[in-house]
Amino acid sequence: MDSAGQIQMAALGRPFDLGMFYDCRSDQLIPGLTLWDKEKLDRDMRERPQPNTGFKIVASESISDKSSSLGMEASLKASFLCGLVSVEGSAKYLNDNKKSIKQARVTLQYKTTTVFKSLTMDQLGTGNLKHSEVMDKGLATHVVTGILYGAQAFFVFDQETSEDENVQDIQGNLQVMVKKIPEITIEGSGALKMEDKEREKVNKFSCSFHGDFLLEKSPAMFEEAVKVYQDLPRLLGPNKENVVPVTVYLLPLTTLDSKASKLFRQISLRLVTEAENVLEGFTELEMWCNDVLKSPAGQNFPQLTQKIETFTTLCSEFKLGLQRTLSQKLPSIRGRGEEEAVLAEVLKKAAESPFSSHRLKQWMKDKDKEVNTIKTLVKLINTETVSSENALSDKVCDSEKALVFVLTSLDSTEPFLSELEQHLKGSKSNSSDAPEPRRWYSSEDLIDSVRRKAKLFRDFAEANKDKDRKSLRFLVVGLADKNQEGSAVYLYEDGFRVSEDFELPSKPGAVTVGEVTHNTVSLHFSAPSEGAHSVTEYRVEFREKGKEEWNQQPQAEAGEVTVTGLSSYTEYSVRVRAVTDLGVGPAAAPKTSIRTLPYAPPEDLTGTASDTEIRVQWRRPQVGQGGNILRYIVEYGETQEKIQWKREQSQSEEMVISGLQPETTYSIRVLCDCGEHGTSRESSTITVTTKEKASHQAGTDLFTF
C-alpha cells in the first residue's frame, strides 16, 4: 500500500475489470457493479504497452515462496490460507502441494506482461460516480483503477525418490535440467536435442501444468513440457489478446467520497505469519502421513493404516474449523469490528490445544519409529507378509502346516487420538492427564525379545527353505493378542491353529572338537538355549570341502558324539542342528573346518625286553591316503602318572630301544610320520618291563637283527 492508500494486488485468476468494486475486508469482488458506466470506461480508459517476459526456478514448496512467486502480499495470503479467496488459472499452483516428503520437486515459472490499463483523472471525479449506494452501505472498500495484463504458467516437475536416494541430490539434478528448458532446441523430427544421459534422467520426471493459457493437452512429461514452454508466446495470440489480469491496483473509496466506509485496516504481519506457520504445519503432516500409508508397513498392516487415517481425518477437521474461524475473524478485524487480539487468542488456543504442532509431530515421530521397527523386523524375517486375518486363513488352509510370526500389539490403544476426537467434540479428555501407555516399539526389553524371536523365526525358516510350501509355509501378519505383548509364533495344521506360542529352537550350544583320527571326529555340543522343549533329536551334518551334499548322522541327545565313516587326510565341514516335529533348527558349527589324519596308527604293536633293551615290532597300517609314510616315531617312557615321553625314529616296522633301566616298566607307542601331511594318531600304548640285570660276556648282544 502506498502513501495514498492505493493497493497493488495479485489477480490470482479472478475476473477483475476496471471500475469494479472490491472489499478488502473479505478480499472479495463485488460482481455486477461498477463505479462508472461501461461506455465511459471504454472511452476514457488509458492504455500503455508494458511488455516484459521472464522465467525463474522455484525450488521451495513453502507457502511463503509460492505466494511470493505470484506477487501476493501478506494480507491476501492470509485470505487465501483461510479460504476466503478462490484461485484460478496459473494461481492454482498455490494448491498443488507435494504428496510426499520423499518427493523431489522443482517448478519453472514463466511470466509475461503485455499492457497496462488504468482510469483517467476525468473518471475519478465525484460527479461521474455510479452506484454510489455501494459506498453509502459500506459494501466495498476499494475500486479497481488499474490492471496489468499478461499471463503466467507454472511447470511443476516431480520425481519420486527411493529408499536409497537422497531427496536433495535428486532435486539438485532436477533443477539443473529444468534450468535448461528455455535453451533446449527441438530437432526437425520433433525430438529434444539432448545427451542420452540427460534423456535418461528427464524420463523419470513427471509434470503438472498450471497456467493462464488454453492448451489442447496439458504436459505430463518433461519433453511435452519443453514443447509447451516454447509454444507459449504463440498461444498469447497474434495481437497478444489472450491475456488475463495479472496485477490489479485498488484505490480506497474514501479517496472519491468521504462518505465511503473507512472501516478498513491491515492485520499485522506477525499474526499473518503465525497463522501461515500453523496451517502449513498441517500440510507437512499430510505428506508425512501419506509416506507412512505408502510404506510397506502401511500397505501390509491395516492396524497402522487405520490409526494414520484417523489421525489425518481429525487433523483435516481441525484445520477446516480453524480456517472457518479465521475466515470469520479476518474480515471483522479488518473492518474494525473486532480487535487483533481476537485473532491472537484464536492462534493461542490452537497452540495450547491437543492439535498443537509439537504434539502432532511427536505422535507422528512415534508412528515413524513404529514403522521403522516393523520395517526392520519384516526385513529381518524376509518371508511373505499377509495383510489381514482373512488373507491369513486362505494361506494356512493351502498348506499342511504353517508357522506364522505375529505382531500382536499393532492395534494397541492410542489415547492421543481419543484426546483429539474429544477436543473436536468440545469436551475435555482425561487422557492427557493419564500416564502414557507402554509402546511396544519403545520398550528396549520388549523390542529385544521381539527381535530375538524374529531372528529365531528367520533362522528356522532358512533351515527349512527346501521344504515344499504345501507341506510347510512361513508367514508374517499383524493380529491382536492381549496375552502376548509384542510378538508371538502361531502354528497351524490343516488350517487350524494348534499353538499360539510355538517354541522355536535356537542353535545348539557351542560345538567343540575333541579327538580327530583318520576316519572319525569327536564333537561336543549342548542343547539350544531356547526352544529345547520342542527338540526330538539332533542331527550331525558333515561334508567334504568343495562338495555340495551334506551327509547326516542322527544323535539322540546333546553331549558327546563321534562322527564316523570319514576319509583319511580330508577336510570336512561339520555342523549340528536340532530336529523338531515341524522341521530342523539353525545349525551350529565349530569355528574352523576339520581335517582327518593322513593314516591310521600302526597296528599290532608288541615288545620283547632284556635287562636294558626292548625290541618293538608293529604292522604297517592299511588305511591312508595322505601320502607316503616317511618314517615311524617311537615314543617311550617310564610308566607313571605323568609319563615323560622320549622319541626315536625308525625306517622299518621294528626298532630296539636301548639304554633302559633293568626291572623297569616302560610305556611304548608308535605313530606314522607322513612329512608335510602330518602324523597319524598314536597306536595303542603297550607296557613292557625290562628284566633283572644279567651278567653276560663282553661283545654279546641280546637282540640281533
Give domain 512-595's CATH architecture. Answer: Sandwich (2.60)
Contact 412, 370 (CB under 8 A): no
- Residue 269, number of CB atoms within 10 A of its CB: 12
- Judging by DSSP bridges, how do beta strands 614-619 and 603-609 pair with one another? antiparallel
Q: Which of the four pLDDT bands, split at 50, 70 and 90, describes residue 632?
A: very high
CA 569 to mean position of chain CA atoms? 50
The pLDDT tens digits for 223-273 are: 999 999 999 999 999 999 999 999 999 999 888 776 665 667 888 999 999
Indicate if the pLDDT at residue 682 is higher than 80: yes
Mean pLDDT (the chain) is: 90
Give the pLDDT score at 194.
78
Give the pLDDT score at 249.
96
How many Cα atoms are found within 13 Å in the side-chain-facing hemisphere of 527? 13
CA 277 to mean position of chain CA atoms? 28
The pLDDT tens digits for 120-151 are: 766 565 556 666 666 667 788 899 999 999 99
CA angle, corner 138, sides to 340 and 34, nearest 5?
125
- Polymer length in residues for the chain: 705
Q: Which of the four pLDDT bands, split at 50, 70 and 90, describes residue 626?
A: low
Pick the CATH number of 603-689 from 2.60.130.10, 1.10.1530.10, 1.10.287.3240, 2.60.40.10: 2.60.40.10
Give the pLDDT score at 699.
43
Q: Which residues contact 358 (CB under 8 A, 6 or more apart)?
A: none
- Residue 379, number of CB atoms within 10 A of its CB: 11
Give the pLDDT score at 479.
96
**680 vs 616, higher pLDDT:** 616
Give the pLDDT score at 698.
45
Q: Which of the four pLDDT bands, split at 50, 70 and 90, describes residue 189?
A: low
Cα distances (Å, whole numbers) of residue 317 to 63, 279, 311, 313, 577 = 20, 12, 10, 6, 58
Give the pLDDT score at 185.
81
**Nearest-CA neighbor of 338 among 350, 348, 325?**
325
Mean pLDDT of 427-432: 63
Indicate if the pLDDT at residue 70 is higher than 50: yes
Indicate if the pLDDT at residue 703 is higher than 60: no
Q: What distance in Å separates the CA atoms of residue 575 and residue 594, rounded to the nearest whole number?
A: 11
The pLDDT tens digits for 567-610 are: 988 999 999 999 999 999 999 999 999 999 988 899 999 999 99
Encode burial over 412-430: b for 16+ CB neighbours within 10 A, e otherwise: bebebbebbbbbeeeeebe
Give domain limits for the chain.
7-261, 276-439+450-482, 512-595, 603-689
Indicate if the pLDDT at residue 1 is higher than 50: no
Contact 290, 100 (CB under 8 A): yes
Q: What distance in Å separates the CA atoms of residue 612 and residue 693, rounded to the nearest whole number?
A: 8
The pLDDT tens digits for 14-65 are: 999 998 999 999 999 998 878 777 777 777 789 999 999 999 999 888 999 9
Mean pLDDT of 402-429: 92
Q: What distance in Å separates the CA atoms of residue 559 and residue 578, rounded to the nearest whole number?
A: 13
Choice among 78-87, 262-271, 634-643 with the minimum mean pLDDT:
262-271
Mean pLDDT of 485-494: 95
- Residue 449, number of CB atoms within 10 A of its CB: 15
Give the pLDDT score at 121.
63
Give the pLDDT score at 705.
43
Choice among 286-300, 429-443, 675-689 with the minimum mean pLDDT:
429-443
Give the pLDDT score at 434.
61
Q: What distance in Å separates the CA atoms of residue 692 and residue 664, rounded to the nearest whole number?
A: 9
**Residue type, position 102, single letter:** K
Domain 512-595 shares a fold with domain 603-689: yes
Choice among 194-208, 370-384, 412-426, 537-551 with the minimum mean pLDDT:
194-208
The pLDDT tens digits for 313-324 are: 999 999 999 999
Radius of gyration of the chain (CA): 45
**Nearest-CA neighbor of 604 among 667, 681, 686?**
686
Give the pLDDT score at 688.
97
